[in-house]
Amino acid sequence: MWIADKWKDYELIDCSSGEKLERWGSFILVRPDPQAIWNTPRINRYWNRRDARYSRSETGGGSWDKAGLPESWSIRYGELSFNVRPMNFKHTGLFPEQAVNWDWAAEKIKNAGRHVNVLNLFAYTGAATLACAKAGASVCHVDAAKGMVAWGKENAAVSGLAESPIRWIVDDCAKFVEREIRRGRKYDALIMDPPSYGRGPGGEVWKLEKDLWQFVSLCAGVLSDDPLFVLINSYTTGLSPSVLTYISESIFTSRFGGGSVSDELGLPVTDSGLVLPCGASCRWEA
């Protein structure tokens, strides 16, 4: 398991009975987590002294109880800063387990011995974009949600990277890749975090299990002749990391050489000493 254990401004304090107790900077949040199915005793006092809690509704969705919480606040990871805020569907705008991938991508870029162009697809609020830019890469950040791209620009500003070579693109990722192929534009590294389910601008339905192979195959067409790495993330429950490895080996290793490795991502739990699994990633490198 790849464990994001270098955080100072984030902490997974405890998890039990389908919820996790987290510290985001100086604020304590309780959020649902489908992996925390054990019913261990909730001894930590912060379960009852939280600043906010997201509760699921029996009819779908849910809501925040966040009377004492500001609209947004900043936290740091290394040299990067991020604005976090409670959103619909329990999210905060940041997936802290991904920090282990930010570090890996940054090291690959720093050690490449050449300038690196990165394409970040389904790029959300830009944490991976900023990690790559801070390491010296040029980055093209693509997400279909205008608000998420604007949030990414906010994060770039608070991280001191507002003037970095980042292209901020609001577009459907597949259609953008198709156009980049027609334009002959190439990238040395590729990051993607495709959703489990979604709809395109024309109402097209995306299901990761059905569409991931075709999408990853398409993306191979924007890689340069000497690519550095590809990172594929998945939060689809039941999708084994080895499935990502097979896809990556079949598409990238067969064409460029190198090799792929996949594993679960995890966050250390302070109170128990265990690690909470948080999705899966596949890393291909030349």
User: What pLDDT, on a 0 to 100 scale, did the predictor assign at position 89?
Assistant: 84
Give the pLDDT mean for 25-32: 97
Is the pLDDT assigned to residue 37 strictly greater than 80?
yes
Give the pLDDT mean for 116-125: 98
Query: Which residue's structure tokens are 């912060």?
Result: 46
CATH topology of domain 97-285: Rossmann fold (3.40.50)
The amino acid occupying position 259 is G
What tens digit of pLDDT does each residue of 61-113 get? 899 998 879 999 999 999 999 999 999 889 999 999 999 999 999 999 999 99
**β-pairing, 52-56 with 62-65?**
antiparallel
Give the pLDDT mean for 156-185: 97
SS3 string, 223-249, reads: ECCCCCEEEEEECCCCCCHHHHHHHHH
Is the pLDDT assigned to residue 30 strictly greater than 70?
yes
Q: Break the chain into its structural domains and give their ranges.
A: 2-90, 97-285
Is the pLDDT assigned to residue 205 strictly greater than 90?
no
User: What pLDDT, on a 0 to 100 scale, did the predictor assign at position 161?
Assistant: 98
* Rounded CA separation 252/188 (Å): 13
Q: What is the CATH number of domain 2-90?
A: 2.60.40.1180
Give the pLDDT mean for 20-27: 98
